[in-house]
A and B are shown apart, each in its own frame.
Chain A
Amino acid sequence: MTDHELIWRIAGGSGDGIASTSQNFAKALMRAGLHVFTHRHYPSRIRGGHTYTEVRVSADPVKSRGDGYNFLLALGDSFARNPSEGAYYGNEEIKPLSENLDELNEGGVIVYDSGLLDASEIEDFDERVEENDWHVYDIDLRTIAREHGREVMRNTAGVAVTCAIADIEPDVIKSLMSDAMPDKILEPNLTVFDDAYEMVQEEYDVEAPDVSAPTGEHDEEQVLLSGSDAIAYGAIDEGCRFIAGYPMTPWTEVFTIMTQNLPELGGISEQVEDEIAAAALAIGASHAGVKAMSGSSGGGFSLMSEPLGLAEITETPLVLVEAMRAGPSTGMPTKPEQSDLEHVLYTSQGDSHRIVFAPGNAAEAYYQTRKAFQIAYEYQIPSIVLYDQKLGGELTNVPASVFDEEPNADLGSVLTEAELEDAPHDDSGKYQRFQHDTENGVSPRSLPGQKGGRYLATGNEHMPAGHISESPENRVAQMNRRMQKVDNIRAELDADGEFNTVHGDEDADLGLITFGSQQGTVEEAADVLNEKGHSVKVLGVSEMMPFPKQQVADFLDSVDEALVVEMTASAQFRGLISKELGGYGDQMSSLLKYNGNPFEPADIVEGFETALLEGEELPDNRTKFVPKVGE
């Protein structure tokens, strides 16, 4: 076991196979006993454009992408359109090398494909190398790949070079290649790998590696998956067998995973004309007795606004997922942000009553998606899983045992035909599906086709059997009952006490509060701060609605002040806390990031020390500090 880390960045153009190569690399190292965490950066285009994936590798569990990185494999953008300085987007060909230098840590390694890239085109390259003590390997990966296979096998050559330099056992990668690649391309890839590996061993002195991969061991079997995988699997394990959707990045991942798996489970997936239809289909299927879901990202979710309200008032169980990306409008489609928070909490007319969970990592995404279904079907209410491009796309190792859970296909509060016989009906034989007085606010439903269960579901305010009514007494009774469900759900979540996480020493003086996907990063930042002698603890909130008022108030009461960390420009989460708790504005400052990149732990350490504690300006505009009320 070793305590140093490898943070490997593979950079190229969209279409260069960066995603699959990095996924295989991460999985191979996971199999070798290490903890891995990936971070994807890609533009909204199919070919070309600078893209990279980072794989952080550690002997200990990792919860974020880490700070900077220490090993660059720059493949060169083989699809670049404008290899010239004067072009609108600059010289794209060289970007995999030039654009990645700023974040490379001191002492780091640079491997670049000299078959495609010419470092002399980068201003001050040699000076920067010297200044930062970088170790540069210019290797003609393209030629190695061409000699034994095809040019696209550059990636394999690059991985082999990485292994040789960073002291990774070749078999770790080669055995995964054997599993992942079809025979036809496996052979030439293995030859390319060996050739590149041997070349480095012969031509460079790699006895004392500049940067090396750690070694480690897991105490239980691990699986490598993304937040999107975890959400889809949570849905499947809750018996969800119907999904309707319309593609939109980054929600498309969940939609695709479900769609590819549902046929073998005898389920149905529908790609429909728009997101209004998508949400409406999920409502229709659920109304008819099938556990159903839909989802989208910001723009598509806007279109779901009206159906969402329909599900609320008709008390149709519905699960939606919302994958946030930078807005407004089309914004930055492939970049994470958390700025759809208020949108998801409040969109659609009337007083919203819905459930919103924002999981903090892949395991939480699985559990919380399951809980979202349980609540939706038991309480007949829409549940939304709010996540983002970061959580959806990042791959991490999770113990396989997380998924060793029983499936649950329970439809919740639904009557059988036998039960319907004794249930109250009106004069025309309609079942009183929306009774005023029920034990926990839930009035059990019937399903179309059940004998003796007919009723009218309507988006208008309605009487017990469903008929439209504007009677004030009925209105108040129905509204109170629907709102009562939310209170009861809050009580159930309080009793469970599972979803919001507290990290750090209970007696700490200062707090960091965050929600959703930033949780792991904030926790790592707190660890760094505590090592530096500060006294900090973290509250990661997942229950966004109904809000865990007591828990958050208790947390705030227990610290002198808190820094609220979120990826929004208008401090929406801090605003939510203030609104829900009716105060604490003079105790909470904000650290915001909305430049398209998720927080790194160092951003938070800096915001905490420089801005919050020392009251000084932050050195650049990567993050923004907003002081507490009254300052």
Chain B
Amino acid sequence: MSAFSAIGEETEQDQNEFTPGLEPQPTWCPGCGDFGVLKALKGAAAELGLSPDEMMVTTGIGCSGKLNSYFNSYGFHTIHGRSLPIARAAKLANPGLTVVAAGGDGDGYGIGGNHFMHTARENHDITYIVFNNEIFGLTKGQTSPTSPMGHKSKTQPHGSAKTPLRPLSMSLNAGASYVARTAAVNPNQAKDIIVEAIQHDGFSHVDFLTQCPTWNKDARQYVPYIDINDSDDYEFDNTDRSEASEMMFETENALHEGTVLTGRYYVDEDRPSYQQEKQRIGEMPEEPLAERYFDDSYEWERTFDNFLDKHK
């Protein structure tokens, strides 16, 4: 019998299951795009029939990091930029968990960029949602890695001299096996994409455009948006790496010219997840490691029997 009975439990969930009781209520500013992520995640979790106790949502620090304060599941609000390594390890420890990591553009593409690159490379079976508001929200509007060139802020009074980072291209090149972009103003697509991202076996990266009306006033509300998978103007095969790459490049350029492109950019269903690779080479047990500590019949190995001979 599993010590973690919430995992895989058949449930019919209403998305309200994922709303905590009366408190705490979201403290995001009115009109903030972060509400859109919360709503999409709740909808996706309900649609997938997940139970709050089998989900673990890790977040970084920022306005976005509050996501798991307002989402009813196991949560780990970590430190700035570090939601991914904690998420990865929880998944390795207990692979039955549905693990979602989330954070801001500063959190994930700046201070935590190294983890982003390596988590994608390793293709861990987790979903990563980046609240991309092209700004540092919580620290009051400084320039972020995705702020457009020329963007003025208190820390960049003459406008940013840096070209913005290309999150989708970076993700693809690093090795993510599912890459999508959606926007808070596009709730149905957002929910569908998160459903797919969670279902995908491997690292799913969702760049989620979240408007910040408080600090990023000159930014668009990310409307109107175009779904590239639905539009006749954008023909490409999102299972083809180079076509995906071109589409991403175009999308990243278009955003700064006022055209908001969204959709599924890259989907690789064939690449084994990290867990599968690690099990293939014999460096990860088939049974969830976390279960072993509750298995009274397990005979724990000891040094005296296993390792001392070579020291004699």
Contacts and interface: CB of A to CB of B under 8 A. Distances in A.
Contact of A266 (B5, B96, B285): B285
Contact of A467 (B24, B87, B304): B24
A362 to B, nearest CB: 11
B103 interface: no
B72 interface: yes
B249 interface: no
B312 A456 contact: no
Interface string B20-46: 111110000000000000000000000
B240 interface: no
B283 A269 contact: yes
A149 interface: no
B23 A310 contact: no
A104 interface: no
Nearest to B287: A266
A287 B3 contact: no
Contacts of B285: 266-268
A570 interface: no
Interface in A392-439: 400, 403-409, 411, 416-417, 426-430
Nearest to B282: A263
A272 B82 CA distance: 13
Contacts of A309: 79
Contacts of B263: none
Interface stretch (A72-80, A238-246, A322-330, A484-492): A238-246
Contacts of B278: 268
Contacts of A320: none
Contacts of B52: 429, 454
A180 B213 CA distance: 70
Interface in A98-143: none
Given A276-B82, A280-B85, A452 B53 contact: yes
Which size class do B's interface residues fall under?
35 or more
B76 A453 contact: no
A417 to B, nearest CB: 6
B219 interface: no
B118 A451 contact: no
A182 B69 CA distance: 60
Contacts of B306: 236, 261, 264-265
B311 A224 contact: yes
Interface string B57-100: 01001000010110011111111001001111110111011000
B3 A417 contact: yes
A454 to B, nearest CB: 5
Contacts of A237: 302-303
B69 A468 contact: yes
A314 B78 CA distance: 9
A168 interface: no
B90 A448 contact: yes
Nearest to A241: B289
Interface stretch (B220-228, B253-261, B292-300): B292-300
Most buried by A among B61, B74, B88, B293: B74
Contacts of B252: none
A466 B75 CA distance: 9
Interface stretch (A61-69, A191-199, A457-465, A533-541): A457-465
Contacts of A288: 56, 89-90, 93-94, 97, 290
B53 A454 contact: yes
Given A221-B312, A273-B118, A428-B21, A453 B53 contact: yes
A291 interface: yes
Contacts of A452: 53
Nearest to A225: B311
B284 interface: yes
A393 to B, nearest CB: 15
Query: Nearest 9 pairs between A and B by C-beta?
Result: A284-B89, A449-B4, A427-B21, A428-B21, A280-B85, A428-B20, A458-B77, A284-B86, A223-B311
Given A267-B289, A448-B56, 6 more contacts: A266-B287, A290-B290, A406-B302, A409-B292, A449-B94, A449-B96
29 contacts: A223-B308, A223-B311, A262-B283, A266-B289, A268-B289, A270-B92, A280-B78, A287-B76, A288-B89, A288-B93, A290-B93, A290-B290, A290-B293, A292-B89, A306-B82, A400-B304, A400-B308, A404-B304, A409-B293, A416-B3, A426-B21, A429-B21, A448-B4, A448-B54, A449-B56, A449-B74, A456-B69, A458-B77, A468-B66
